[in-house]
Structure 1
Amino acid sequence: MVTAVAQRLAAQRREINDTLALLSLSPENLQQVRDKMRVELERGLRRDSHRTASVKMLPSFVYRIPDGTERGKYLALDLGGTNFRVLVVKIRSGIRKSVRMYNKIYAIPLEIMQGTGEELFDHIVQCISDFLDYMGMKNTRLPLGFTFSFPCRQTGIDKGSLVSWTKGFKATDCEGNDVVEMLREAIKRRNEFDLDIVAVVNDTVGTMMTCAYEDPKCEIGLIAGTGSNVCYMEEMRNIEMVEGDEGQMCVNTEWGGFGENDCIEDIRTRFDREVDEGSLNNGKQRFEKMTSGMYLGEIVRQILIDLTRRGLLFRGHITEPLKTRGIFETNDRLALLQVRSILQQLGLDSTCDDSIIVKEVCGTVSRRAAQLCGAGMAAIVDKIRENRGLNQMNITVGVDGTLYKLHPHFSRILKDTVKALAPQCDVEFVLSEDGSGKGAALITAVIDKYLYAMRFSDETLMDIMKRFRRELGNGLGRDTNPTATVKMLPTFVRSIPDGSEKGDFIALDLGGSAFRILRVKVSHEKKQTVQMESQIYDTPEDIIHGSGTRLFDHVAECLGDFMEKQNIKDKKLSVGFTFSFPCAQTKLNESYLLTWTKRFKASGVEGMDVVTLLNKAIKKRGVDIMAVVNDTVGTMMTCGFDDQRCEVGIIIGTGTNACYMEELRHIDLVEGDEGRMCINTEWGAFGDNGMLEDIRTEFDREIDRGSLNPGKQLFEKMVSGMYMGELVRLILVKMAKEGFLFEGRITPELLTKGKFETKHVSSIEKNKEGLAKAKDILGRLGVEPSADDCVAVQHVCTIVSHRSANLLAATLGGILSRLKDNKGNPRLRTTVGIDGSLYKMHPYARRLHKTVRRLVPESDVRFLLSESGSSKGAAMVTAVAYRLADQRRQITETLAEFRLTSDQLLEVKKRMRTEIQNGLGKKTHDSATIKMWPTYVLSTPDGSGERSSTWIEISFPDCDSTS
């Protein structure tokens, strides 16, 4: 039996050894890892291979390490794991140079790590606020360095767009966005303090800078903790992704992605694959999943489950806790002396032999992690040595991270591996006691290309808002209107719906390639209801560019078809006409087209009354054009039916425009001072006088040059859906021509005007499926994009869309501030009705709302989406006109009995004359109704006081005078 037991134990031992052998790396394995890492480093640096390199070699725009002369007080933020740290760093230079730090650590709950980006950054700012309160520094504006320990593509020291989350973070609306800008927006939302964000850096860069302050030979930063990464000082001549050949720049390797191209599949085990498949980013960060603290505990758990299933551990019994992902934490794995108690906490009934095996498993997994880090580090130090043409080199590596600090053997194994694989380098490892936050402060102390001009600070947006307000005033003034770009056209709509409207109406909506007709029934039973039936008709290109007669005949034919289908050919109904082009209105049903927009070019219409032209075309249809309105007015009236506080209408779609209710006393072009009238701003032409030249880009000018109306509607060309896709296409073409996208390849489809549609911009912007959409859309344009290309394209789409939302927020802010001033209220409460395909696209609306509230803080603005479009609004204008006409009719009928005709007045005159004669006659005096009493005043004064005359008093029946 003893022999049998011995054989069983020996067999079990062999199986355990065979399993752990999978994680053992031979010297040859390590040399291969070193050499493959070196290949990937080079590929990441080169322009032609960067796209497919698994080690991305991201420029950090940090050009030098501290030289000891830095000084001052700085704030540093350190975000890279489940804890977030805020520090104040005081740097003193000179002989007694020193760095003093005060810091506080805050937890980041899982629901915030995996919530929305806004929630994450609001939490960060809340922590900053608490820290500044704690330090008594709320009123001090400090320079800030931000350690952000996730892969970021930087275009400047203070600009970093998140490429992808790692380490369990999954906050939405962040990937592809500038984290510095998100932090700035969160600070503005909080509105308690202000900070000058100077630098955003990776934690490796911060660690390197921290150690370099003490040791000038420190040119490498290593993180071996929750994540795993390295940065180092590379020669500028080798960094093909950045212009310039002189000097050095710190490169963030992002070596956690090493192996994503399958180059280390020979050393990955089934346990590594299981961990990868169960992660949030399957297939990504493969090297990090073999070396970082976040995943080592999970690898150990997978091995323990495998051994237990095979009856080699815990008597073959797998407990529920052991089945739970993440239950075996790396911190537990580090506590090797307490293995037995940890296993008991996991519900595992372990023997002494089990504890020994678990220790072996932990040791093997940790050893492999340290060796792999060492092999990667050997590749880097050898590269630096060869860059400098040295046979032997001394260099220092700054290190931070719990794995390096707490594991009893990790640092030793790491150093031994580097020494064995890079024998010509004498490498010293210096632990960064103060972490990467201090490094961020140091980078701040020592301190784009395509899209920089499209990013606006709130100060710039406030300035644009002020310019727009001036243009509103110019458009309203009689003397300044002829030269104003914002025409402020009166609409003769004087009231929004009040809930008492009723009737059966037809609405026509012409404003794009699709022409819409509706039948709108407004009725009163228990409550006011609106029933609508509609049909959409196409407007072919040859009609849009043909004659005006053909265009309106087409509208009439569509109307006839609609009335026949609705069985209302014999009814005489009133029509509201939504005509979404700049018009000068003289009456509610008289409107002269000023100029075509949105690609329309029908001849013989500009300068003509469109109601007359339409009436001529539809005179046989038995309908009456009661009102012609702009689509913005229709939108305001549609929303006004549901919310009577609605006094602004906006269209953000193919085109863009706004209307609002202005005080009549301010409208010089219309008679009268009492009441209000809706004004169609025609804000698309804002900037046609050169007022926006300082914010227009080369891409905006190229769009304008290629348009049907060069020099016109410049604001609309910067913000509307008709041009947004084309803006993105032009940017992508330029970036590709300069080698920043698609490996410099440009397809005929990408060069074709109009191929990149605005709906593509909206699809690519979406966080969850945006990158997949980008790949699909670019593929249809003949481009084979890399993952980085897709991220870059998403970023371009986001910036172009964000600019549109910001500019429209500024102009809307101008209208809202004017409304507030008109009312003289300290706080404006109003509703804005909005329609348009672009506004409905995610996440445009949210951006617009946020910016408006920042620009006009003294306002409570409700944004109400017009679900029924502007066509219903045309019917509502007609319904309101009918209501007002009916009110006028009732008033007229009431007052009619008080109105006298000329014949009646002549009769009154005749009768009065007769009664006067009767009052003067002696015989008729007694019966006269007009008594004509003498007053004995004989004369009126002549200035001499000598003459006298007789006065006659005319007395009405009830008078009692006898003198």
Structure 2
Amino acid sequence: MIAAQLLAYYFTELKDDQVKKIDKYLYSMRFSDETLRDIMARFRRELENGLGRDTNPTATVKMLPTFVRSIPDGSEKGDFIALDLGGSNFRILRVKVSHEKKQTVQMESQIYETPEDIIHGSGTRLFDHVAECLGDFMEKQNIKDKKLPVGFTFSFPCAQSKLDEGILLTWTKRFKASGVEGMDVVKLLNKAIKKRGDYDADIMAVVNDTVGTMMTCGFDDQRCEVGIIIGTGTNACYMEEMRHIDLVEGDEGRMCINTEWGAFGDDGMLEDIRTEFDREIDRGSLNPGKQLFEKMVSGMYMGELVRLILVKMAKEGLLFEGRITPELLTKGKFETKHVSAIEKSKEGLSKAKEILTRLGVEPSADDCIAVQHVCAIVSFRSANLIATTLGAILTRLKDNKNVPRLRTTVGIDGSLYKMHPQYSRRLHKTVRRLVPECDVRFLLSESGSGKGAAMVTAWAARLADQTRQIAETLAEFRLTQEQLLEVKKRMRTEIENGLSKKSQDTATVKMLPTYVRSTPDGTENGDFLALDLGGTNFRVLLVKIRSGKRRTVEMHNKIYAIPIEVMQGTGEELFDHIVACISDFLDYMGMKNARLPLGFTFSFPCRQTSLDAGILVTWTKGFKATDCEGEDVVSLLREGIKRREEFDLDVVAIVNDTVGTMMTCAYEEPSCEVGLIAGTGSNACYMEEMRNIETVDGDEGRMCVNMEWGAFGDNGCLDDIRTEYDRAVDDLSLNAGKQRYEKMCSGMYLGEIVRNILIDLTKRGFLFRGQISETLKTRGIFETKFLSQIESDRLALLQVRAILQHLGLDSTCDDSIIVKEVCGAVSRRAAQLCGAGMAAVVDKIRENRGLDHLDITVGVDGTLYKLHPHFSRIMHQTVKELAPKCNVTFLLSEDGSGKGAALITAVGCRLREQEQKS
């Protein structure tokens, strides 16, 4: 017993002694955590260089865009062929993805050899061989008559400008076929298939094996956004934000980047950690000076690295008593599979003895322990180095997502990772140590990269079809220059009908006279009360206007809500609520006893008979109070004040918000003679020649006309450009068949049009995994502010997704891209339609005045115009294109239409005083 313990103790001492000796000898292959973090930082810089437009040409880590834009989402289905070329064998798979109760994948595959003379021969021979194998496979599968979509896993660095193209940059591993570098491998394969003529194939995607691995694992775990190969060669890919990929146009969504990290260090970046053995491996390789990182870590070189170390140690008498045999000196005799066998914990030493004996070196027990430790140092170095490059990718993903902790999955494949007994454990441990803020799940790809290639192909086939169908849907919202000119022409016709006495009754664009005969002249003076009713809020304002050298306007206001039950109750309730709000405001300002002149901004169609009388034609924008339509709203307000018996007011003017906006801007800019509201609703007014307003007596001067253009198209004149979505929104609105133009271009309805399109696209399976949520069924969820946020150029896609998720829509990044596209199409059309209407107005004013060229200012207000990132720009552009003889300046009304109401009241008081004097 004691003898056995002594022997064990002696053996442990011996082992420790050998280990220390080897550690000292291979000190340069062992790294501290500080060194590993430094390498990680270097690789992070290389990643960024590869992504940058200016730095990419000289970057060693090429960061190649793959045009794979998403990982599998579980909705893929179909029958596909996957080719896998890049390792020692060439595989062809048939992958059937079906949905019965759940998604299932059936795979049948066959392996074909790639002989040395073919991979070192001409490119033509190589692709003829691939085409021949594919023909044989299709024959055996009995599918030669079918044209199945093909995914091609091609495990070499390729530049891509689309998914179905791959320009080979350089051969790696053992491949060296001539005439292929710089060529599109898809074209070469298609050419070889065409030459045979006995079958047809639709190559839809070429992917790197790393991408295939990520997609294979992504099928099982949707968190998977990194793919790694650690086998014959090594490489990684990951999902990068499009906004960081300078080499590809667009900044929406994500794209998988094939890092080609094997070339890390080709610029000398790793010289301080490369050893004499690494340099010797490189000198004897097919591609000296290239793929230096790969040569330090991958399976193709690991056995050879160990052999070179053993040779040197034997030469120095540190191993095998200095014996060197021809076998030990033969390149390739010590393979990576031997490293894996020797590092097995139980039988490793006996395997070492067996392998070394075959090399003829007659190893002692000491030699076996030493060789086992050499293998451990070389393979451990590989795991450590891979951990640094993977760590850099993980920290980049974490930073891209701007999260304190990253939860992600890394899909992984490769013979070294799978076969080596210690490799995976070492790699995981080092990664967790280097990036403790990342929770990483490592998922082994059970079926290589073939399933992944099929997934990419399924995605590509579906995407091509989906993109085409979405484009067809949104094409209905794209208006040509001819269509817009036609809209302008029709608006002009409707304007003339509204102004003409004989057609006014049947005209849709009512062209209501406002009895506002002049814009402010600067002499307005006094204290005025203004009311502003037109949306879900009601404002009461006190406006103090001072004339003289320094004109000033001082405003005090308070906002009151109008509950929906009041908006849709009785007229008496509505006006009692308004008067109660005025009472509260006068108390608040301490002005209950003053009889102030009042201007009432009332943003609904009114037929006016004088400045202070307006008969409500019809409610719009969700108002439905009874006993108001056909009544004079000024009288209704005066009656409400009388019922209250608390105060008295002098109601001087009733004004539309559009007119109020024009007056507000005209006070600042005298050339302002048009008003436009582009907000909850849409409307315009302008100064028309009295001679053209047949519904009002007199031909002298001008009068502001409230167009009420929201009703343009109510007679069917826009039916040719209305879509099914416009009709659906109209049918479900409170005023079906009315305000059709407004429903195509105002903030109140744009969100509803978007929602209807999204429901349709979801039903067709293009969005939200085909699931129509309760939220999506809810009318009114897409407010204008959300459309404005979604379309903001400054918003990253993740933020768009966050907005959609906040709205209760479980959205992916791909969904977010489509939603943004839909919002863009709807708001662009709205801006163009609004611009076409405005072009008709300014051209009419120009013609009224007999001018070749008109300079004019339009006063504008409204949330859509103010908040939407593109609406104003597109509208301005449209006006410019459709009315080229008009130079139109748009002036934003900073103070809403309340100030305008006060100014109209002031102008009204001034004119009243002048009349009284005369």
User: TM-score band, normalised by the shorter chain?
Assistant: 0.5 to 0.7
Aligned to 1:570: 593
Task: State the secondary structure of the residue aligned to 2:259.
Answer: helix
Match of 1:289 among 259, 279, 287: 259
Q: Distance in 2 between the 1:279 and 1:797 partners?
A: 20
Aligned to 2:723: 697
1:48 has 2:75 as partner: yes
1:497 has 2:467 as partner: no
Q: Distance in 2 between the 1:371 and 1:719 partners?
A: 63
1:513 Cα offset (Å): 1.4
Shift of the 809–352 alpha-carbon distance from structure 1 to 2, 3 Å rule, reads same
Aligned to 2:581: 558
Q: Distance in 1 between the 2:736 and 2:860 partners?
A: 28
Q: Distance in 2 between the 1:40 and 1:476 partners?
A: 57
Aligned to 2:765: 739
Q: Distance in 2 between the 1:859 and 1:634 partners?
A: 23
Q: Distance in 2 between the 1:229 and 1:658 partners?
A: 59
Task: State the secondary structure of the residue aligned to 2:687.
Answer: strand
Structure 1 letter corresponding to 2:227: I
CA RMSD of aligned residues (A): 4.7
Aligned to 2:12: none
Aligned to 1:835: 861
Q: Distance in 2 between the 1:835 and 1:488 partners?
A: 20
1:752 Cα offset (Å): 1.9
Kept after mapping to 2: 8 A contact 1:231/1:250: no
Aligned to 1:548: 571
1:771 Cα offset (Å): 2.5
Kept after mapping to 2: 8 A contact 1:703/1:727: yes
Shift of the 553–253 alpha-carbon distance from structure 1 to 2, 3 Å rule, reads farther
Q: Number of residues paired by the alignment?
A: 581
Aligned to 1:507: 530
1:364 Cα offset (Å): 3.3
Aligned to 1:905: none
Aligned to 2:651: 625
| Structural mapping, 1:228-307, within 5 Å | 251=204, 259=214, 261-262=224-225, 264-267=227-230, 280=244, 285-290=255-260, 299-300=264-265, 304-307=268-271
Aligned to 1:341: none
Q: Distance in 1 between the 2:874 and 2:299 partners?
A: 48
1:856 has 2:809 as partner: no
Q: Distance in 2 between the 1:668 and 1:529 partners?
A: 38
1:749 Cα offset (Å): 1.6
Shift of the 571–262 alpha-carbon distance from structure 1 to 2, 3 Å rule, reads closer
Shift of the 648–275 alpha-carbon distance from structure 1 to 2, 3 Å rule, reads closer
| Structural mapping, 1:889-904, within 5 Å | 889=916, 892=918
1:634 has 2:650 as partner: no
| Structural mapping, 1:37-76, within 5 Å | 48-49=75-76
Kept after mapping to 1: 8 A contact 2:228/2:234: no
Q: Distance in 2 between the 1:577 and 1:8 partners?
A: 92
Kept after mapping to 2: 8 A contact 1:632/1:659: yes
Shift of the 287–839 alpha-carbon distance from structure 1 to 2, 3 Å rule, reads closer
Aligned to 2:829: 803
1:365 Cα offset (Å): 6.1
Aligned to 1:846: 873
1:356 Cα offset (Å): 12
1:659 Cα offset (Å): 0.5
Aligned to 1:755: 781
1:288 Cα offset (Å): 2.9
1:632 Cα offset (Å): 0.3
Aligned to 1:595: 618
Aligned to 1:933: none
Match of 2:750 among 724, 727, 735: 724
Aligned to 2:692: 666
Shift of the 10–247 alpha-carbon distance from structure 1 to 2, 3 Å rule, reads closer
Q: Distance in 2 between the 1:588 and 1:247 partners?
A: 78
Kept after mapping to 2: 8 A contact 1:485/1:688: yes
Kept after mapping to 2: 8 A contact 1:523/1:529: yes
Q: Distance in 2 between the 1:497 and 1:223 partners?
A: 75
Q: Deviations over 1:73-92 (max 9, x none)?
A: xxxxxxxxxxxxxxxxxxxx
Kept after mapping to 1: 8 A contact 2:679/2:861: yes
1:367 Cα offset (Å): 9.1
1:814 has 2:840 as partner: yes
Aligned to 1:943: none
Q: Distance in 2 between the 1:604 and 1:651 partners?
A: 27
Q: Distance in 1 between the 2:809 and 2:229 partners?
A: 32
1:780 Cα offset (Å): 3.6
Aligned to 2:111: none
1:859 Cα offset (Å): 1.8
| Structural mapping, 1:200-215, within 5 Å | none
1:471 has 2:494 as partner: yes
Task: State the secondary structure of the residue aligned to 2:545.
Answer: strand
Q: Distance in 2 between the 1:222 and 1:814 partners?
A: 60
Q: Deviations over 1:685-707 (max 9, x none)?
A: 00000001101111111111111
Shift of the 517–782 alpha-carbon distance from structure 1 to 2, 3 Å rule, reads closer
1:536 has 2:559 as partner: yes
Shift of the 803–590 alpha-carbon distance from structure 1 to 2, 3 Å rule, reads same
Kept after mapping to 2: 8 A contact 1:650/1:833: yes
| Structural mapping, 1:418-437, within 5 Å | none
Q: Deviations over 1:507-543 (max 9, x none)?
A: 0001111000110011135410100010000111111
Q: Distance in 2 between the 1:857 and 1:730 partners?
A: 36
Kept after mapping to 1: 8 A contact 2:855/2:887: yes
Shift of the 671–776 alpha-carbon distance from structure 1 to 2, 3 Å rule, reads same
Kept after mapping to 1: 8 A contact 2:687/2:705: yes
1:789 has 2:752 as partner: no
Q: Distance in 2 between the 1:754 and 1:232 partners?
A: 54
Q: Distance in 2 between the 1:204 and 1:262 partners?
A: 18
Shift of the 776–274 alpha-carbon distance from structure 1 to 2, 3 Å rule, reads closer
Kept after mapping to 2: 8 A contact 1:770/1:794: no
Q: Deviations over 1:436-478 (max 9, x none)?
A: xxxxxxxxxxxx4211111111111011110110000000000
1:656 has 2:584 as partner: no
Q: Distance in 2 between the 1:360 and 1:513 partners?
A: 74
Q: Distance in 2 between the 1:231 and 1:709 partners?
A: 58
Q: Distance in 2 between the 1:787 and 1:49 partners?
A: 17
Aligned to 2:50: none
Q: Distance in 2 between the 1:223 and 1:482 partners?
A: 76
1:485 has 2:508 as partner: yes
The percent identity for this pair of structures is 41
Task: State the secondary structure of the residue aligned to 2:774.
Answer: coil
1:783 Cα offset (Å): 3.2
Kept after mapping to 1: 8 A contact 2:858/2:890: yes
Shift of the 365–888 alpha-carbon distance from structure 1 to 2, 3 Å rule, reads farther
Match of 1:615 among 591, 614, 638: 638
Q: Distance in 2 between the 1:366 and 1:252 partners?
A: 26
1:872 Cα offset (Å): 0.9
Shift of the 356–459 alpha-carbon distance from structure 1 to 2, 3 Å rule, reads farther
Kept after mapping to 1: 8 A contact 2:239/2:256: no
1:611 Cα offset (Å): 0.5
1:281 Cα offset (Å): 5.1
Q: Distance in 1 between the 2:915 and 2:636 partners?
A: 29
Task: State the secondary structure of the residue aligned to 2:685.
Answer: strand
Shift of the 746–368 alpha-carbon distance from structure 1 to 2, 3 Å rule, reads farther
Aligned to 2:910: 883
Aligned to 1:64: none
Kept after mapping to 2: 8 A contact 1:202/1:252: no
Structure 2 letter corresponding to 1:604: D
More moved, 810-819 vs 281-290: 281-290
1:286 Cα offset (Å): 4.8
Structure 1 letter corresponding to 2:292: T
| Structural mapping, 1:286-435, within 5 Å | 286-290=256-260, 299-300=264-265, 304-308=268-272, 362-364=290-292
- In the superposition, the TM-score normalised over structure 1's length comes to 0.54
